[in-house]
Amino acid sequence: MTSAGDKGSGLTYASAGVRLEEKDRFTDSLVSVMKRTHGPRVIPNPGGFAGLFRLDFNERLFKRNYKDPVLVACADGVGTKVKLARQMNRFDTIGIDLVAMNVNDMIVQGAEPLFFLDYIAVPRVESAVLGDIVKGIAEGCRQAGCALLGGETAEMPDVYAPGEFDLAGFAVGVVELKRATDTERVEKGDVLIGLESSGIHSNGYSLVRKVVESAGLDLDAVYDELRPRAIATKKRAGSAASRKKAGAVGKNGTKTRAAAPAPLTLGDVLLAPTRIYVNSITKLLREYRVKKVISGMAHLTGSGMAGNLERALHKKVDAVVRLDSWQPHPVFTFLQSHGNIPDDEMRRVFNMGIGYVLVVRPTFADSVVQKLRKLGEKVHVIGEVVKGKGVVREE
Amino acid sequence: MTSAGDKGSGLTYASAGVRLEEKDRFTDSLVSVMKRTHGPRVIPNPGGFAGLFRLDFNERLFKRNYKDPVLVACADGVGTKVKLARQMNRFDTIGIDLVAMNVNDMIVQGAEPLFFLDYIAVPRVESAVLGDIVKGIAEGCRQAGCALLGGETAEMPDVYAPGEFDLAGFAVGVVELKRATDTERVEKGDVLIGLESSGIHSNGYSLVRKVVESAGLDLDAVYDELRPRAIATKKRAGSAASRKKAGAVGKNGTKTRAAAPAPLTLGDVLLAPTRIYVNSITKLLREYRVKKVISGMAHLTGSGMAGNLERALHKKVDAVVRLDSWQPHPVFTFLQSHGNIPDDEMRRVFNMGIGYVLVVRPTFADSVVQKLRKLGEKVHVIGEVVKGKGVVREE
């Protein structure tokens, strides 16, 4: 290596916009947040190059050995919901969305989520923002019963404009081979059971933000049409200013949410985190371990009911979904009317209020509905399987 | 759902800049590329919500059952090397870097890579570019002997400026618990064996690009100082124009590389894909299955030799690295002189020509060196372990 003068005159990594120390400090601060998601199957590996997760315990106490374990893996992001989080300057729930998008896909295969890893890309490490994002991810992992095993934070000032960021996540789970879902199992007569979504979840935000912009909607306002059971109230005047102030306080570490539950603003409703169905679905599957009661499942994401439920079918059956069998979440009617969005476009882009669908043997349908309600889900029987050629018919 | 006029007047997802069909078409086109990386342990799951990978085969032919399997997982990106790929309009090797960054981390733990998933974020789906990226990822998986099990392509026109993109990857492997590396195993007297890098690998590109820019270097030029064995040649005049033309032809599907091997341009050298050490390391570990010959390993990334080799040590030993025991790859001396970068900054940011280090019992050092050379690695004995307090001393 040749000598190259003193530090003052030459180029350094810092002069290129990357601050290794800041990143290291942030990484260290994550350790305790991540540890709270670690069960006994995570092997401590401080400073290690990778996360270590024991698949099985040979010790009798923890024994849940698999005869023929199949690993199940997903990769997903949260799309432009990141933009909304930035607009609202609230970063503590977007991580829940990130976990949800991955683990809800995974349980469709009958798998139990084991662990999760994240990738966070930012133009510049802002510890408070990143800390909130990771807290959300850890909360999502807690809800999904999986370990936050590792992740990567990339500081890339030349790729991401100031204020922009992106998130990607990866989940790994396991399923016993003979219990993995199989589209061939779906039969004519099977009942479609829908679980309500918490709102928009994490798809369609480019369109959502377009509606907000083109209709001049105010993220900080409370709109009557968005109240689940509408009581007439006027649009809250001046709320934009008051929320912004609250946000600024929050950034400095104080809890921002008012003591009494404030009415939800449009921003609150749009940013509501994606519901994680892991607990309900894994418990349900465990209750029917011997009998094959669940023929198939679908997590409703980017291409709506038709595009996703179709993936649970084989070529000799159709799914008939009755659109009048549930009330869409008010946010969808709100967006549709303000954006003048065609019906079929709505159904193609959004979940319309149903986030997860189970295909169930008819004799067990009532029992499945009851069990899911006890597990805290809002459940609707939304249709049935008929002879066909592998498509979803929304009627 | 309320009716909302005809498609012409209302908002659609397409009007918000997202084209679901284009994305679907691209996803379909990936199937065959991915399948080429699938061994018998990947379970076909067309249209599935997640990738399925059998950990073990109970059939005798494929039996490699683990007694106490530990899953090993990594997440990583390639940093701003993506910017360089875009500048050079060449996207078929950056995927190799992505796989390399993850699997080289994983093998440090003694693990065998099983599968890989990618996340590609773009402002707009350009099938040719994305296809090249995924081909590179598949090639990386082939080199690493792992399956490309799935991935996500996110089209986010509001987050990524035209021309920008980002990549993240995620690898899962497995190691038998008692064969996982353990920093406690490192002993005074152990020998440090370094494997040469292929160049800059995937760290420090913010600084690399800063040097190129501030020193007015030409990515399309051939610089004598970059030739491994320098034969005096003049900087190729007019090479910029000729390369650009070749690139444009390539975009339309014809092979661009000249029939006779052209001298490497600065861009070629800077974009050279990260070396994947999986084949050499897994074969080496298999040869010493019973004896514990390898005390520890390190993959040299973001914080150079000191920052990474330190992670292989416990608190009672130091690693002494002799800086004169290998010749740095010419790209490092080139960048240092053109950017006037201090020595210690160079060593903190770059791998300086050694991409991977093994810590080996002294009696086996010669044999390990021989085996690694036979496996195609360029190998240097670069130092040894002494009593200390867990730090790396570069002398």
Lookup: tokens for B327: 């010749």
Torsion sign (Cα): B269, B272, B274, B280: negative
Q: Does the pLDDT of residue A8 top 60, yes or no? A: no
Contacts of A118 in chain B (CB under 8 A): 75
Contacts of A159 in chain B (CB under 8 A): 80, 82-83, 160, 164-166
Report the range of poorest mean pLDDT among A165-169, A337-341, B114-118, B285-289.
Answer: B285-289
B58 contacts in A (CB within 8 Å)? 67-68
pLDDT, greater one: B154 or B230: B154
Mean pLDDT value across chain A: 86
All residues at 6 or more sequence positions from A115 whose CB lies less than 8 Å from its CB, including other chains: A42, A51, A53, A146, A147, A148, A149, A171, A172, B71, B73
Provide, as residue numbers in chain A, all residues whose Cβ is less than 8 Å from the Cβ of B161.
161
- Closest-CA residue of chain A to B313: A47
- Cβ within 8 Å, pair A52-B75: no
The SS3 call for residue A233 is: coil
C-beta separation of A111 from A179 below 8 A: no
Higher pLDDT, B64 or A184: A184
How far B284 CA lies from chain A's nearest CA (Å)? 19
Tell me which residue in B75, B82, B298 faces A151 most closely, judged by beta carbons. Answer: B75
| H or E element at residue A367 | helix A365-374
- Of A80, A81, A89, the C-alpha closest to A240 is A89
Q: How far is A162 from chain B (nearest CA, A)?
A: 11
Residues B164-183: what's their mean pLDDT?
92
Q: What is the SS3 assignment for A179?
A: helix
B93: left (phi over 0), alpha (psi -120 to 50) or beta: alpha
> Which of B52, B272, B33, B269 minimizes the C-alpha distance to B139?
B33
The whole-angstrom distance between B2's CA and the closest CA on chain A is 7
Of A88-102, B51-65, B323-337, the range with the lowest mean pLDDT is: B51-65
**The total number of residues written for chain B in this structure:** 395
**What's the rounded Cα separation, in Å, for the pair B274 and B100?**
6
Task: Check whether B132 has a pLDDT greater than 90.
Answer: yes
Backbone angles phi, psi at A318, to 5 degrees: -115, 160
Digit-coded pLDDT (tens) for B339-350: 999 999 999 999
A contacts of B121 (beta carbons < 8 Å): 77, 166, 168
Q: Which residues in chain B touch residue A5, judged by CB atoms under 8 angstroms apart?
A: 340, 342
Give the sign of the dihedral formed by CA A378, CA A384, CA A389, CA A395: negative
Query: In which band, very low, low, confident or very high, does the pLDDT at B237 lie, cut at 50, 70 and 90?
Result: very low
Task: Calculate how close chain A gets to B260, using CA atoms only, in Å.
Answer: 33
DSSP-H helix ranges across chain B: 20-35, 81-88, 94-107, 127-144, 205-214, 239-251, 266-271, 278-287, 304-309, 330-339, 343-349, 365-374
**Cα pseudo-dihedral B232, B237, B239, B245, rounded to 10:** -160
Q: Give me the interface pTM, i.e. the ipTM.
A: 0.85
What angle, rounded to 10 degrees, do the helices at B365-374 and B278-287 form?
Answer: 130
Three-class SS state of B127: helix
Contacts of A368 (CB under 8 A, 6+ apart): A193, A284, A293, A294, A358, A360
- Better-scored residue on pLDDT, A29 or B380: B380
B interface test, pick of A87, A170, A211, A308 with most B CB neighbours within 10 Å: A170
Q: What is the mean pLDDT of residues A294-310?
A: 94
Distance from CA of B87 to the nearest CA of A (A): 13
Question: Mean pLDDT across the stretch A318-331?
Answer: 96
CA A320/CA A324 separation, integer angstroms: 12
Q: What is the pTM of this model?
A: 0.86
One-letter identity of residue B213: E
Report the range of poorest mean pLDDT among A103-107, B12-16, B55-59. Answer: B55-59
B-chain residue closest to A210, CA distance? B16
Question: pLDDT band at residue A32, thresholds of 50, 70 and 90?
Answer: confident
Instruction: Measure the CA dihedral A187/A108/A174/A97, to 10°.
Output: 180
**Contact check, Cβ <8 Å, A1/B51:** no
All residues of chain B having their beta carbon less than 8 Å from the beta carbon of residue A214 are 11
Spatial CB neighbours of B207, under 8 Å, sequence gap ≥ 6: A11, A12, A13, A16, A18, B335, B339, B341, B349
**Nearest residue in chain B measured CA to CA from A176:** B54
CA dihedral B275, B281, B283, B286 (to 10 degrees): -160
- Local structure of A110: helix, strand or coil: coil
Residue B78 corresponds to which amino acid? V
Give the separation between CA B336 and CA B339, rounded to whole angstroms. 5
B345 interaction partners in chain A (CB closer than 8 Å): 7, 10-13
Is the CB of B105 less than 8 angstroms away from the CB of A50?
yes
Report the chain A residue with the minimal C-alpha distance to residue B345.
A12
pLDDT per residue over B278-311, tens digit each?
999 999 999 987 778 999 999 999 889 999 999 9
Q: Is the dihedral of CA A142, A145, A147, A153 positive or negative?
A: negative
Q: Scanning the structure block, which residue is given the tokens 């991401």? A: A160
Q: What percentage of chain B's residues is helix, strand, coil (to nearest 5)?
A: 40, 20, 40
Beta carbons of B6 and A45 less than 8 Å apart: no
